Amino acid sequence: MAPLSSLLFFLLTVHSVNALKCYVCPSATTNQECNKNTQDCQAPLDTCMTTVGTLGQFTGISKMCSNSKICTSAAAVASVDNNGNGVQVTCCNSYLCNYSGAASVTLHRWLLVLPLLLITLLFRQQA
């Protein structure tokens, strides 16, 4: 009886771990086209990475599972000029979080600007 109760105890204490799932596509011209396939990311891939390249009217989108350090580094060097040409890289790490690359780009910009605005307001109040 002891082995059976030990097995039951083990099964009750082990929780299933849901791996990160991302939308993946090697190359697409629209977000809808890119969101047709998903993939469970395997360790050490802990981030969904979306890359959007724009040149004039042409857009290329790539989505994949990535390592957070690699994605963050790619996002730091990506840039877009005043005409909207260039590359944007976004990183996220929740279930199917890379559904809309454009929305997350806008969100990341606000997350960068908001602390700067708060710091500016604090300095103005102290002066």
pLDDT (tens digit per residue) in 26-67: 999 999 999 999 999 999 999 999 999 999 999 999 999 999
The pLDDT assigned to 125 comes to 75
The pLDDT assigned to 120 comes to 67
Q: Which of 25, 30, 64 is nearest to 47 (CA)?
A: 64
The answer to whether residues 24 and 38 touch, using CB atoms and an 8 Å cutoff, is yes
Give the chain's domains with CATH numbers. 19-126 (2.10.60.10)
pTM flag (> 0.85) = no
Reply yes or no on whether the pLDDT at 118 is more than 70: no
Reply yes or no on whether the pLDDT at 92 is more than 90: yes
Q: What is the CA radius of gyration of the chain?
A: 21
Q: Which of 48, 53, 47, 19 is nearest to 35 (CA)?
A: 48
CA angle 25, 30, 36 (to 5 degrees): 45
Reply yes or no on whether the pLDDT at 73 is more than 60: yes
d(CA 4, CA 57): 65
**What single-letter DSSP state applies at residue 97?**
T
- Close Cβ partners of 59 (under 8 Å, ≥ 6 residues apart): 29, 30, 52, 53
